[in-house]
Structure 1
């Protein structure tokens, strides 16, 4: 083997020496060696890095979302924040948190639009804008259940709003009354906070319950941990 054939493929150079015929013969010999043996493994990129075998989570792609909810969302106002999620039935969806004008009630609104531009039914929620972070996403906004978690504060305690995916969008929050957008419902928990996600990849909700014995001002506060059972958040333990 000639000395030049021992050089790395990326740096191989052919030495000019002897006659034109000799140089041509040397060139043909080197090309044949490359075709048969190829470049050494040292020229291949290293594929044994620390990320090998690790699962990766990619953001929704292939969708073009507006910067603000469309008029059809029924959620006009100032967009505070948004998150792009992958809905199990509708694909890429952008969820918006909106502060309504001061003249409108309730003060907050959660809107969503699909990657095809279809507006989903909005979620009304009360918020007191004098409180810091009165309407914000949990961090992260979703867990392994694919539910979306929003924290709201109507003026004293935080609450947790859970957007549960359905075939048509998100499940009805189930507020206790048509005029009450803060004290609780099927998927709204006032005086509560999300905890986690845990080892199972899911959030738990710590729900505080204020007693009124002997009075609401003097009553003790108990805490209940709620976990997802596939349909609802139910007490554990």
Structure 2
């Protein structure tokens, strides 16, 4: 009669150093989990956004993978006082976004992204808050589309002045609530109305 250990060898076709069904044998380790992405603590010079880092967030870009987004208080004169700079996991700088802010009034929403994969930044150029929406594009984020590039009080396609975020709701998405002044008979005495904007896959539009 075979000893139990030998019987196991013949039954499984394994030698003493083998293990059936992929069990560990003490040999070389299998592929380890990918190591975390290592991002810089400040954007590179190629981001063209020199200044003091106010905050940063690491997000998942649908096309580019992990991306670190920086909020910057610019140094120097003759340029908008704020900047949004981003860098990919490979160290490539994406096109930066200029935005006027008062002092350090530039911060991320909480949470910074929602189910749309957009990322939201709150800015204040000196009076009311605005919402800056970073919409993922092929090479980074879509153009903000400022109505007047030098006057950020006017907002733009992906920038909403005198506005706030609501949510995220049950669908995991933010809505944007924008205040509008009729300026009738004057802006100081005008009626204030509120418009709720929802994402339609391309832009934020008033709710029907």
Does TM-score exceed 0.5, indicating one fold? yes
Q: Which residue of 2 aligns with 1:229?
A: 200
Q: Which residue of 1 aligns with 2:183?
A: 212
C-alpha distance 161-63 of structure 1, shift in aligned 2 (>3 A): same
Q: Which residue of 2 aligns with 1:153?
A: 124
Whether 1:200 and 2:171 are equivalent positions in the alignment is yes
Q: Which residue of 2 aligns with 1:84?
A: 58
User: Distance between the aligned counterparts of 2:110 and 2:117, measured in 1?
Assistant: 13
TM value normalised by structure 1:
0.72
- Unaligned ranges ≥5, structure 2: 5-33
More helix per residue: 1
Q: CA RMSD in A?
A: 1.6
- Unaligned ranges ≥5, structure 1: 1-27, 29-59
Q: Which residue of 1 aligns with 2:79?
A: 105
Q: Which residue of 2 aligns with 1:126?
A: 100
Q: CA-to-partner distance for each residue in 1:58-103, whole Å, 9 max, x for gaps?
A: xx96421100010000110000000000000000000000001252
Is the partner of 2:46 in helix, strand or coil?
A: helix
User: Distance between the aligned counterparts of 1:232 and 1:224, measured in 2?
Assistant: 15
TM value normalised by structure 2:
0.81
- Paired residues of 2:82 and 2:99 also in contact (CA < 8 A): yes
* Number of equivalenced pairs: 176
Q: Which runs of 4+ in 1 moved over 6 A?
A: none
User: Distance between the aligned counterparts of 1:114 and 1:181, measured in 2?
Assistant: 27
Is the partner of 2:152 in helix, strand or coil?
A: strand
User: Greater Rg, structure 1 or structure 2?
Assistant: 1
- Paired residues of 1:97 and 1:135 also in contact (CA < 8 A): yes
